[in-house]
Amino acid sequence: MCGIVGYIGDKKAVPVLLHGLSKLEYRGYDSAGVAVLHNDNINIVKTKGRLKALEEILENKSLEGSLGIGHTRWATHGAPSDINSHPHLSQGSSVAVVHNGIIENYLYLKEELEEKGYKFVSETDTETVAHLIDFYLKLGMEFLDAVIKAVDKIEGSYALGVICDSYPDMLIGIRKDSPLVVGLSEGENFIASDMPAILNYTKDIYLLEEREIAVVKKDGVTVYDRNKNVVKKEIFKVNWDVEAAEKGGFDHFMLKEIYEQPKVVKDTFSGRLKEDGIVLDHIDLNMENVNKIYMSACGTASYAAGIGKSVIESICRIPVFTDIASEFRYNNPIIDEKTLVIVVSQSGETADTLAALRLAKEKGAKTLAVVNVVGSSIAREADYVLYTVAGPEIAVASTKAFSAQIAAMYLLGLFFGLKLNKISMEEYRGYASELKELPQKMNTVLQKAGKLKELSDKYLNVKNVFYIGRGLDYLISLEGSLKLKEIAYIHSEPYPAGELKHGPIALIEESTLIVGHLTRKELFEKTISNLKECKARGAKVFAITTEDNGLIGSTADDVFYIPKTSYLFSSILSNIPQQLFAYYMASGLGNDVDKPRNLAKSVTVE
């Protein structure tokens, strides 16, 4: 996904911008560029490809100047190319713009501008903004007024960084439906779409709200609302540093993040899983007024929501519906004031999840967001927030954030269960002591990572994989299959074990690998029969099961045992071997594990 960084101060802008962009690489991108103002001229260097390509060009073509904007682009309008990369210049090069988001009425605006004589050089929606601002400047408006006037014409989402050759002392940042923050420091200030871009320089941040506009100068920042009233902003102090986001001795961020999971789960429980009940600050929901729950999210987060549904229904016997956010928002879901809508998101910026949240609010539902990124849009807009305490997740493929989301689901299940009097304090304490043991059990699984490396070597050339299970074991199969697809680029499908024979079994052949999840004792025999059906057709079987499964025997070619826990909480353990399996497959195949092809960390467009 696109990333923005902007700088004004005494330093040379280019190194600051490049450093900032490097901290945004994890978001996924296909091109990068910078624009710097020097001697009343805006100079731009941009290119398709990795940041390294941009750095190489800049080594031979030094850009002077202490005011600049930079961008990493993830293509939406127009293919990845040098010309479509940001920053975009207005005709005559007086204005340069970087943009995250989508301008929905850009074709209409483009036509209007073309009629006025503007010539477009790129296929992007962003170029319209540069020309529009230029148009208003030429009408005699001040820079700030021209930007406000231009964004008034825009429909869609944007975070914008803008510089103008006649205003060498200012940088303008503005946002709607796409995040943007301002970094504050002595004699220099910054804008960024994501905090890591500027944390090297400052921990003091203004979080811009919808349609707020920041005029950023070397010695100060003024924030205005859409009507140009000055807004008094509070400084948000960031309490984690860039170091926290570095690889720390692991080959990849993903592996590091997999190993961080016991701590992340412990941190997510910390202060909440108390002797006499679950304590969730500021969540004073009256569950008596809730007759059903909806859960909505995208991708991996939606699988955490699925596990949440199962856990909450089991404990609370209240109906819970789940819907992928991109479906939910157009499905006219049946929700009202008696519905609690829970959205789950690592980034807190996923466009569809944000839209689902807004729809739920519009329909009068109470909303609760399970979010990792503090201060993100979803966190700010939901009625209640339960933060997962996963810290920054850098690898594009989610691992530790997912475990933290599952941990949050367990907390919610018990929290609602107690509120609704569906569990006694004694039952609660039983569940709570099991939860407290999970981080240690996760460590036990991680200690056997070598076995997964061996298995990945054995199955490195596999082309088709099925992940199967029943109940929660099926729900966790969804994530195993996604991980393998997204980082190892191997075709795989998750399937409810009992459903295979209704069609997909036709695809099973000699070279197929079946990953079977078995953590529910009562259903061991059923799933084992399904594994046998696959084996009879020549497939190889890799089973992930609990230590007490004495039945698996020779049905499986390979078995990975996880420590025994209540079936209700098994997913958080059985997920780890499949994460490691996908990781070792991907690294064994030489893939760019942390930045898999075609994927973005934060999907802020529909």
The stretch among 58-66, 209-217, 272-280, 292-300 that binds ligand F6R (CB under 6 A) is: 292-300
Using rule CB under 6 A, residue 300 touches ligand F6R: yes
Using rule CB under 6 A, residue 326 touches ligand F6R: no
**Least Å distance between CB 596 and ligand F6R?**
9
**Least Å distance between CB 536 and ligand F6R?**
33
User: Could you tell me the two tokens for 200?
Assistant: 């090297």
**Least Å distance between CB 76 and ligand F6R?**
15
**Least Å distance between CB 347 and ligand F6R?**
3
Pick 68 or 391: Cβ nearer ligand F6R:
391
User: Could you tell me the two tokens for 169?
Assistant: 């002392």
Give, for 38, the enclosing helix (H) or strand (E). strand 31-38
Which residues contact residue 130 at a Cβ distance below 8 angstroms, ignoring those fewer than 6 apart? 88, 89, 90, 95, 96, 97
Give, for 109, the enclosing helix (H) or strand (E). helix 106-115
Sole binder of ligand F6R in the list 345, 530, 549, 579 (CB under 6 A): 345
If binding means CB under 6 A, how many residues of this protein chain bind ligand F6R?
14
Sole binder of ligand F6R in the list 54, 360, 603, 605 (CB under 6 A): 603
Using rule CB under 6 A, residue 353 touches ligand F6R: yes
Task: Give the active site residue among 2, 164, 316, 534.
Answer: 2
**Least Å distance between CB 448 and ligand F6R?**
23
Q: Output helix, strand, coil percentages for the chain, rounded to the nearest 5.
A: 40, 25, 35
Using rule CB under 6 A, residue 163 touches ligand F6R: no
Using rule CB under 6 A, residue 397 touches ligand F6R: yes
Q: Quote the strand ranges of 388-512, DSSP E.
A: 464-469, 491-496
| 149 catalytic residue (yes or no) | no
Sole binder of ligand F6R in the list 51, 137, 293, 298 (CB under 6 A): 298
Whole-number Å distance between alpha carbons of 504 and 264: 37
Sole binder of ligand F6R in the list 6, 20, 101, 299 (CB under 6 A): 299
The stretch among 56-64, 117-125, 135-143, 347-355 that binds ligand F6R (CB under 6 A) is: 347-355
The angle at the Cα of 60, spanning 55 to 64, to the nearest 5 degrees, equals 85
Judged by CB under 6 A, the chain residues 459 through 518 that form the site for ligand F6R are 486
Whole-number Å distance between alpha carbons of 586 and 348: 27
Q: Are 7 and 164 in contact (CB under 8 A)?
A: no
User: Could you tell me the two tokens for 21?
Assistant: 């962009």
**Least Å distance between CB 605 and ligand F6R?**
11
Which residues contact residue 274 at a Cβ distance below 8 angstroms, ignoring those fewer than 6 apart? none
| 2 catalytic residue (yes or no) | yes
DSSP string, 311-379: HHHHHH---EEEEEHHHHTTS-----TTEEEEEEESSS--HHHHHHHHHHHHTT-EEEEEESSTT-HHH
Active-site residue set? 2, 601
Residues within the interface to ligand F6R (CB under 6 A): 298-301, 345-347, 350, 353, 397-398, 486, 602-603
